[in-house]
Amino acid sequence: MTSKAATRRFDIVIVGGGMIGSALALGLSRQGWHVALVEGARRDAVLAAREPALTVDDFEPRVSAISLASERLLDELGAWTGVLESRHCSYREMVVWDGDGTGRIQFDAAELHARALGTIVENRDLVRALFRELLASDVALIDGVRVRSWSRAQGVELEDGRRLMARLVIGADGANSRLRQWAGLPTREWDYDQQAVVCTVQTTRSHRHTAWQRFSLTGPLAFLPLLNESSDEHFCSIVWSQDTPEARRLMALGDEAFRQELEQAIEGELGAVTQVSRRFAFPLRQRHAKDYVADGLALVGDAAHTIHPLAGQGANLGYGDVRVLLEELARAMAQGLAPDDELVLARYQRRRKGENLAMMAAMEGFKQLFARDELPLRWLRNAGMRWLDRLGPVKNRIAAEAMGLVD
């Protein structure tokens, strides 16, 4: 039974304190909204100190390529300093090539007059940096408990029976968002029938602060550069997206056989692969909520959209949602509007949906282009890559868009 005493009232309740929900909570609280953040994980688990990375198994398997635009947002929220104090690796170049052809394209931060193209961050370090800021903020952090239900009339009910009422509830509860389901917001989904095999590797050649991506008919393989505490440049996080039967085969291989296949697949760009960590497989599914908002509710991050990891843009799209929702809610506050004002939420949806859809369509196109073996397509992508590589301004424009430097 829920008593009245167990009900707390807020302007805004955010469900899900992952890398997107935590950032949004910080930003909204700074604007003066009375905010609660509910996260199923316990704060001491999130804040736990990390051991230095001496071997491949000491790194967190899930990492994100954070764009300069996302970095700017995290910096404004005060969390980027915490990221820089953790293990992180900025990358200055990106090399993309067709493993079944001759196409190759190289992006260089120097050509864009930028310090870097982005930064590879272990997901856990990013969330920890955000949690440290949250604890020093006015956000009511309700951790170690999950949300059991939500409705406009009954508010947010926690598994321990507590109840939270708010004008606006924000679902930042990830790809399998319950908030999205409770709000009855349908999605468009398509299964890629691919899985991402993820692990950390050590190589004999330095990664040279470069993100490497090789495309093949069965899917892309990315080597993302990592640095440990001694600035050793021989560790990379790999994301090997493959058709499901092939991914299953790779997961079933012994370490030595997997190491050999990986070394072959990356075509010796980083010398020999000397160590591989434990492997994890993530099923890949593209999902897009048809609407991001309902009466008294908004979705952000993976709760609204999940995208193929081939361009490492999932978290960056989520930070795009955070930036726009912060702008719209700051404007609402300045105009004396409630956070659940229909027009405020509609503007948020309008501004984000187009951009997210465009990125998802581009990823789909890219994936299709590389998944086809017909000669004309193969010629087109190889000639296209070589042509683009020589066209400095166009190439740099594409890189600037991926870095989030173009409005």
Ligand X SMILES: Cc1cc2nc3c(=O)[nH]c(=O)nc-3n(C[C@H](O)[C@H](O)[C@H](O)COP(=O)(O)OP(=O)(O)OC[C@H]3O[C@@H](n4cnc5c(N)ncnc54)[C@H](O)[C@@H]3O)c2cc1C
| Smallest gap from residue 20 Cβ to ligand X (A) | 3
Q: Which two tokens stand for residue 336?
A: 């004396």
| Smallest gap from residue 366 Cβ to ligand X (A) | 15
d(CA 298, CA 291): 9
Minimum CB distance to ligand X smaller for 194 or for 202: 194
| Smallest gap from residue 132 Cβ to ligand X (A) | 16
Minimum CB distance to ligand X smaller for 125 or for 302: 302
Q: Which two tokens stand for residue 69?
A: 């635009």
d(CA 33, CA 137): 12
| Smallest gap from residue 45 Cβ to ligand X (A) | 10
Minimum CB distance to ligand X smaller for 40 or for 384: 40
Closest CA to 218 of 180, 192, 200: 192
Minimum CB distance to ligand X smaller for 236 or for 378: 236
Minimum CB distance to ligand X smaller for 287 or for 381: 287
| Smallest gap from residue 175 Cβ to ligand X (A) | 6
Minimum CB distance to ligand X smaller for 178 or for 395: 178
Contact 207, 310 (CB under 8 A): no
Minimum CB distance to ligand X smaller for 172 or for 360: 172
Hey, what amino acid is at 316?
Answer: N
Q: Could you give the strand order of the β-sheet that contains 118-122, starting from the edge strand earlier in sequence?
A: 63-66, 118-122, 88-91
The phi and psi torsions of 164 (rounded to 5 degrees) equal -120, 130
Minimum CB distance to ligand X smaller for 103 or for 318: 318
Minimum CB distance to ligand X smaller for 41 or for 380: 41
Closest CA to 133 of 63, 46, 52, 66: 46
Alpha helix stretches (DSSP H) within 335-406: 342-370, 375-390, 392-402
First-last CA distance in the chain:
50
| Smallest gap from residue 375 Cβ to ligand X (A) | 32
| Smallest gap from residue 258 Cβ to ligand X (A) | 17
d(CA 25, CA 191): 31
Pairing of strands 155-158, 88-91: unpaired
Count of other CB atoms within 10 angstroms of residue 205: 12
Minimum CB distance to ligand X smaller for 65 or for 68: 65
Q: Which two tokens stand for residue 240?
A: 């090997």
Minimum CB distance to ligand X smaller for 310 or for 344: 310
| Smallest gap from residue 69 Cβ to ligand X (A) | 11
Q: Which two tokens stand for residue 31?
A: 């604007």
Packed helices 375-390 and 392-402: angle between N→C axes, nearest 10 degrees: 100
| Smallest gap from residue 387 Cβ to ligand X (A) | 27
d(CA 305, CA 197): 21
| Smallest gap from residue 364 Cβ to ligand X (A) | 16
Contact 12, 300 (CB under 8 A): no
Provide the binding-site residues for ligand X, judged by CB under 6 A: 15-21, 38-41, 64-65, 146-147, 172-174, 178, 196, 198, 239, 282, 301-302, 309, 312-316, 318
Q: What value, to the nearest 5°, has the Cα angle with vertex 145 and ends 140 and 148?
A: 105
Hey, what amino acid is at 31?
Answer: Q
Hey, what amino acid is at 205?
Answer: R
d(CA 69, CA 407): 10
| Smallest gap from residue 294 Cβ to ligand X (A) | 17
